[in-house]
């Protein structure tokens, strides 16, 4: 089981769409049939959204409703070159530190992902994972600019995995004054996503490049990183090797790029498998993963 921290609702132009890092990751994991528990703080306006996540198979029992808050909102404008300007209303996310791992069935948790959230909550989740020996993925992304050197070092130091895009990795190196080699030595797996250049997975002295797969169109780039994480973690959670798991992430990212919105893609596991096998090698292990 995987626990995901953070939640927010996304608004794109005039559309109001479900979103937020945790919701996005959980949605795609559910499409892949991978169990996950969402830990998030939401306001009094989130019932429909939570029901939709539940209907696709997400365990929403870790969600806490705050009746005196609105759910967080993220407003993003994207131009024709996919450059984005965003603004954020924190709302219920400001209460994320009122949710704790000890309130969940944390002994069943195989891996948690600590994604961008209220900074105090992220620090607390790191402490709780370390205290309860819960392996965690440290995914600070949008919160890196607001994080101190000590916060980042503390989060990375006990992490199982560090994941960031190439720009964020440079920020991490700059803020922590740690080199790529040192960072690689601090975690079991370091993953750098590089947009249309694909991604690089560093683990235990090995380095894998994972290419992108072609997309029919780029309707909206928002949420591509979340989809990649969902595919990667679902693959890893079900015993795939790192390269294969990254390839699952690459396919998931392609599905998201083709739709406006971060939870508008939809496919069966068999359709996902078919697209995977068009681009990557078919092995018995992958057939087991995809149940084909
Ligand atoms: N243009 C593209 N075509 C196909 N796949 C892509 C494209 N851009 C990104 N991807 C896939 O998505 C992964 C994550 O992309 P990227 O590095 O842009 O994440 P990000 O910057 O964190 O995105 P986000 O805007 O969601 O935060 C890449 O490693 C790649 O596999
Ligand atoms: Mg990102």
195-214 pLDDT per residue, tens: 999 999 999 999 999 999 99
Minimum CA distance residue for ligand 1 atom 6 = 196
Minimum CA distance residue for ligand 1 atom 30 = 198
Active site residues: 226
Ligand nearest to the CA of 192: 1
Query: pLDDT confidence of 12, banded at 50, 70, 90?
Result: very low
Query: pLDDT exceeding 90 applies to what percent of the chain?
Result: 89
Q: Tokens representing 8?
A: 């927010």
Ligand nearest to the CA of 227: 1
| Alpha-carbon span 192 to 202, nearest angstrom | 8
213-252 pLDDT per residue, tens: 999 999 999 999 999 999 999 999 999 999 999 999 999 9
256-282 pLDDT per residue, tens: 999 999 999 999 999 999 999 999 999
Ligand nearest to the CA of 256: 1
Query: pLDDT confidence of 35, banded at 50, 70, 90?
Result: very high
CA of 172 to the centre of ligand 2 (A): 14
| Alpha-carbon span 266 to 227, nearest angstrom | 12
Minimum CA distance residue for ligand 1 atom 4 = 212
CA of 195 to the centre of ligand 1 (A): 4
59-118 pLDDT per residue, tens: 999 999 999 999 999 888 888 887 888 899 999 999 999 999 999 999 999 999 999 999
Residue bearing tokens 């681009």: 279
Domains delineated in the chain: 2-290 (3.40.1190.20)
Pocket of ligand 1 (CB under 6 A): 165, 193-196, 198-199, 212, 215, 218, 221, 223-226, 228, 250, 253-254, 257
Minimum CA distance residue for ligand 1 atom 3 = 196
């Amino acid at each position: 089981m995987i626990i995901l921290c953070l939640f927010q609702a996304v608004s794109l132009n005039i559309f109001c769409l479900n979103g937020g890092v945790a919701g996005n990751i959980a949605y795609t994991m559910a499409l892949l049939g991978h169990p996950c528990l969402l830990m998030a703080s939401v306001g009094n306006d989130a019932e429909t959204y939570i029901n939709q996540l539940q209907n696709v198979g997400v365990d929403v029992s870790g969600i806490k409703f705050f009746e005196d808050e609105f759910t967080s909102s993220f407003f993003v404008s994207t131009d024709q070159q996919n450059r984005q300007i965003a603004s954020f209303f924190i709302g219920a996310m400001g209460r994320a530190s009122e949710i704790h791992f000890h309130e969940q069935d944390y002994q069943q948790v195989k891996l948690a992902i600590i994604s961008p959230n209220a900074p105090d909550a992220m620090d607390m989740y790191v402490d709780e994972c370390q205290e309860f020996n819960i392996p965690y993925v440290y995914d600070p992304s949008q919160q890196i600019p607001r994080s101190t050197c000590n916060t980042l070092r503390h989060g990375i130091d006990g992490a199982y995995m560090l994941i960031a895009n190439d720009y964020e990795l440079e920020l991490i190196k700059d803020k922590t004054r740690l080199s790529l080699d040192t960072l690689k030595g601090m975690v079991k797996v370091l993953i750098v996503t590089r947009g249309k250049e694909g991604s690089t997975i560093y683990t235990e002295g090995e380095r894998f490049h994972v290419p992108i797969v072609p997309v029919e169109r780029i309707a909206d780039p928002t949420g591509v990183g979340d989809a990649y994480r969902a595919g990667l973690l679902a693959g890893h959670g079900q015993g795939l090797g790192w390269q294969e798991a990254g390839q699952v992430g690459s396919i998931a990212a392609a599905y998201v790029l083709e739709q406006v919105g971060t939870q508008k893609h939809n496919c069966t596991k068999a359709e996902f498998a078919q697209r995977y096998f068009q681009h990557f090698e078919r092995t018995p292990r992958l057939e087991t993963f995809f149940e084909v």
